[in-house]
Amino acid sequence: MSGRLDWRSGPAGPLRGSVGVPGDKSVSHRALMFGALADGVSHIRGFLEGEDTRATAAVLQQLGVRIDTPAEGERVVHGVGLHGLRASAQALDCGNAGTGMRLLAGLLAGQAFDSTLVGDASLSKRPMRRVTDPLAAMGARIDIQDGLPPLVVRGGQRLHGIRYELPVASAQVKSALLLAGLYAEGETEVIEPHPTRDYTERMLAAFGWPIAFEPGRARLSGGHVLRATDVDVPADFSSAAFFLVAASIVPGSELRLPAVGLNPRRTGLLEALRLMGADIRIENPRASGGEPVADLLVRHAPLHGVELPEALVPDMIDEFPALFVAAAVAKGNIVIRGAAELRVKESDRLATMATGLRALGITVDETPDGATIHGGTLAGGTVESLTDHRIAMSFAVAGLVAQAPVRINDCRHVATSFPGFMELANGCGFDLTVSV
């Protein structure tokens, strides 16, 4: 990805209409990986056409997996079986995707050949010992310097199962260990300090691998096979989040978001916004591909301050940039604690949001693991996204209710998770343009 792309988001609204957000990123990554390791052909529908998930598809293709694209949002994965991947002479480029790199580290630890995982400038600064240390305890050999990418995964190791208590709640680490566990002798058990998204567990079960799991705990043994399975990917709650906040804060707004994935480990923002007074209705709840989905109806409502329950943090780990914007215009203070993980996302999200909101006239007191945001009035101004997709989209939402346009620097990474964001946003009433 090259070139710089700045945005300008002007005051606008009310927001109206129906907004169909793209497919879930976490589910799309996993569907590709499990499809690749399965026996047979898996059809993925609702696949996220983002740069992160396309990077994972390209890596798997480099490893010898045929993946067809019959139409946009569809992939046909021709599984090669658990032991059918082939070495790649070139490094495997995960782009901006922490999920791609960490899950692939687990998957590649069990192969007979060496692989090198690399990422872009942002991913190259993200901590990897959280996966390489427990994988080493399973017998994997991964060369790494200063805890950062690139990862050189040495093949031909005999892996054995471990019982691992995660020091931080992380679905990526959990999933990496479970993927390595497919290749390990004996039982791999992962215990989390707080339950995280369980797509890996659900999808392994759907692909026919025996696995025992409950919130906060998962256990499997090596030596089985994955059977090809079709996957229907729900709309990504994390992408819906920007519109939930936008319609909540722009007077007169009413938006419908169809078929959004409502896995309970993802919907903390829904609860947080409701605690702040938001008017969000869940309509037509149903199951799709083993996941709960529903249409969301969100109407403008005055928001007020709240002390965010710490237990909600893992269930809304990707939604804090959007929450910061809701907090900026709420009446009173929003207090966030227990969210130190935000400092090691695509950017240090506590610092990036605090700095950006301050540039727009909001008082934010930052702490090592959170912030207090003093609700007020957003002025116009210039903010830095630091190439973090969710920061860029959150400030686009802020521009809707600012007193003058907000200029957002370096928004090109929005395409990693939400291609078409600008068009969808403008379609329901944003005033979002490329800034020249």
Residues 67 and 79: their CA atoms lie apart, in Å, by 9
CA 279 to chain centre: 25
* Interaction of residue 317 with ligand S3P, rule CB under 6 A: yes
Of 168-176, 213-221, 250-258, 358-366, the window that binds ligand S3P (rule: CB under 6 A) is 168-176
Contact 166, 174 (CB under 8 A): yes
Provide CB contacts within 8 A for 256, sequence distance 6+. Answer: 17, 18, 19, 295, 296, 297
Across 176-253, the runs of DSSP E, i.e. the strands, are 187-191, 211-214, 217-221, 231-232
- Annotate each residue in 105-124 with x if it binds ligand S3P (CB under 6 A) or - if it does not, as one string: --------------------
Give SS3 for 173. Answer: helix
* Interaction of residue 99 with ligand S3P, rule CB under 6 A: yes
* Interaction of residue 318 with ligand S3P, rule CB under 6 A: yes
- Annotate each residue in 222-241 with x if it binds ligand S3P (CB under 6 A) or - if it does not, as one string: --------------------
318 classed as catalytic: yes
Residue of the chain from 28, 172, 347, 394 that contacts ligand S3P (CB under 6 A): 172
- Give the helix/strand (H/E) hosting 118: strand 115-118
Of 164-172, 247-255, 319-327, 367-375, the window that binds ligand S3P (rule: CB under 6 A) is 164-172
* Interaction of residue 175 with ligand S3P, rule CB under 6 A: yes
Q: Which is nearer to ligand S3P, 124 or 377 (CB)?
A: 124
Cα–Cα nearest to 297, from 236, 252, 261, 247: 247
Q: Which is nearer to ligand S3P, 295 or 341 (CB)?
A: 341
Report the chain's terminal Cα–Cα distance, integer Å: 19
Question: Number of helices and strands (H, E) in the chain?
Answer: 12, 24
Residue of the chain from 26, 96, 122, 253 that contacts ligand S3P (CB under 6 A): 26
Residue of the chain from 9, 111, 132, 170 that contacts ligand S3P (CB under 6 A): 170
Residues 106 and 133: their CA atoms lie apart, in Å, by 11
- 30 known ligand binder: yes
Of residues 114, 318, 369, 388, which has the active-site annotation? 318
- 125 known ligand binder: no
Give SS3 for 241. Answer: helix
* Interaction of residue 171 with ligand S3P, rule CB under 6 A: yes
Provide CB contacts within 8 A for 63, sequence distance 6+. Answer: 36, 85, 86, 87, 88, 92, 115
As given in the structure block, the two tokens for residue 59 are: 């890596």
Q: Which is nearer to ligand S3P, 315 or 384 (CB)?
A: 315
Binding residues for phosphoenolpyruvate, as ranges, are: 25, 98, 126, 172, 349, 390
Q: In the complex, which residues of this chain contact ligand S3P (CB under 6 A)?
A: 26, 99, 170-172, 175, 197, 317-318, 341
Binding residues for 3-phosphoshikimate, as ranges, are: 25-26, 30, 170, 172, 318, 345
Binding residues, as ranges, are: 25-26, 30, 98, 126, 170, 172, 318, 345, 349, 390
Active site positions, annotated? 318
